Chains A and B, each alone.
Chain A
């Protein structure tokens, strides 16, 4: 709608128009080719070779077969799904409840909103330092509280206990990423016509009924987007898990992204690493196809 006009305008400087066209798209094209297209194709090619950095030997789908039949694959995939699923669900819960609260225009609502930006912008490393300190078995604040209240006898090393490490990483991740859901839902809530609630109140609807019949239907789209997009991002998260536990203890928190890193830089197996990256690429592509068909997000720009 906004575009064709430039062509039929008689501004008579066709060369200049071409120059602008070139300036807009040449850097973009070169950039995408250099940092996206070439690396992705290169990695997909590399994944077909044994030891692609040394005496490369073509093995076809061999690396993929090795990975998929390795005993760990199912376990690491399950860890990824567990991590992505629980962080996304909890972030949604925290974000939704706080968005509902701030939407009530309570005193201090603006302060709460500013406060929520902060964890989001705080570098992952800082977040990890904080939580490793809070959950530390020797000096940690959480252990101290639990001991003082008599809930535990011995301090717990949350990040290095197999049964608890995943939970600790999930809590840390929700702390950092919960505000994503909050901001999106708050924007959606503020767009709901307040008259709807007033009318419901006059007609004697309970608070719960108003929530169920007005608020939830209006949030449906936003909630689905959050589940999908946040889910993808959490599935792909590397740094927060790596910094918190390094994938341990005993690979209790090893997800697929952590495994990619381990294959490449600990086992120096670039064939395997790129093959796993390839598997993740295809998983993402499949999810993206669902996303594009269900939501058609490109309509926001390419109409």
Chain B
């Protein structure tokens, strides 16, 4: 800006502003938008980290919140470990996340292979059922699951939560693998059969290696759903020692002994796995978006 570009008029068709000025304005708009969105996205994350690594007495000294740390301390993390059951909560989260990721991915690989390799009526119906369950509200599913698990005595078990989490992650994983297996040409398998390989060996040695990028995406998605989950864990787990980290930590702010320092410290710990995925596995994630988006 600042130039007298508005006065100069190299009139281009369709506009009173010259193309050069337009290009300049566009560049400015582009960088301003980029800057605004970056600030909007990064400030909350930065604040979380800054609060987590400082002692609360330093952060809240003198009425204003200090967001430029003078030093790093593990004090908040120590309080988490010694005064809360965070370790237990994290263990629970890891157990149910791992088992539901495994279950969901396995189901999706089997379903995707079967749905693309065998012909049957009602494929349209199957596709619509998968998409419909994908759009479903977890809380609407959680209510009957709660009553069923209650009746069967399954509440407060890893098994019940694994099933519930898989219920909400499996539809998209299946959709993803279904699409992925369509891009894997059947000719590969046929040539293996012709050479006398059994169907089983073909699956193991030909199909699964080729489908690897697909099921890594599916696994990442299933992992994110389970790790993120609050709704299902809140409904299925009612005993403190069975809480996942999201449910356990959600009650932290109600306690007098726990302040913002510990809350942000636990947030930082919860954020580590997603952060690693964003950094190292993002191409698999983007693949998920390209087949119709992740919830």
Chain A residues with CB under 8 Å of chain B are: 2-7, 9, 11, 13, 16-17, 19-21, 23-25, 27-28, 31-32, 34-36, 38-40, 42-43, 46, 52-53, 94, 97-98, 100-102, 104, 106, 108, 112-127, 129-134, 139-141, 144, 175, 180, 183-184, 187, 201, 203-209, 225, 229, 232-233, 236-239, 242-243, 257, 260-261, 264-265, 270, 273-274, 277, 280-281, 284-285, 287-288, 292, 297-298, 300-302
Contacts and interface: CB of A to CB of B under 8 A. Distances in A.
A31 B195 CA distance: 35
Interface string B244-257: 00100110010000
Contacts of B146: 264
Most buried by B among A104, A133, A209, A280: A133
B94 interface: no
A243 B34 contact: no
B111 A24 contact: yes
B118 A112 contact: no
B114 A28 contact: yes
Given A98-B34, A104-B30, A232-B135, 18 more contacts: A6-B119, A25-B110, A28-B114, A35-B163, A40-B141, A46-B147, A106-B30, A120-B294, A121-B285, A123-B274, A124-B246, A126-B270, A129-B253, A139-B65, A260-B140, A297-B127, A300-B291, A301-B123
A204 B271 contact: no
Contacts of B270: 123, 125-126
Contacts of B41: 115-116, 118-119, 175
A196 to B, nearest CB: 16
Main DSSP-derived SS at the B contact region: helix
B155 interface: no
A146 B129 CA distance: 49
Given A11-B199, A180-B293, A264-B143, A123 B246 contact: yes
A302 B126 contact: yes
B144 A297 contact: no
Interface in B214-270: 224, 227-231, 235, 246, 249-250, 253, 260, 263-264, 267, 270
A238 B48 contact: no
Interface stretch (B1-9, B13-21, B69-77, B80-88): B13-21
B135 A9 contact: no
Most buried by B among A38, A116, A207: A207
11 contacts: A20-B114, A34-B163, A114-B278, A115-B38, A118-B274, A121-B224, A126-B270, A130-B267, A180-B289, A183-B286, A302-B127
B211 interface: no
A114 B143 contact: no
Main DSSP-derived SS at the A contact region: helix
B14 A129 contact: no
Given A6-B118, A25-B114, A288-B135, A39 B13 contact: no
B30 A302 contact: no
A236 B48 CA distance: 28
Nearest to B189: A6
B90 interface: no
B267 A129 contact: yes
A273 B147 CA distance: 11
Contacts, number: 306
B47 interface: yes
A32 to B, nearest CB: 8
Contacts of A126: 48, 267, 270-271
A115 B203 contact: no
Nearest to B288: A183
A24 B34 contact: no
B118 A114 contact: no
A128 to B, nearest CB: 8
A24 B264 contact: no
A24 B179 CA distance: 16
A16 B198 contact: yes
B230 A236 contact: no
Contact of A204 (B14, B167, B193, B289): B14
A277 B117 contact: no
Contacts of B19: 201, 204, 206
B21 to A, nearest CB: 10
A7 to B, nearest CB: 7
Given A20-B203, A112-B38, A284 B293 contact: no
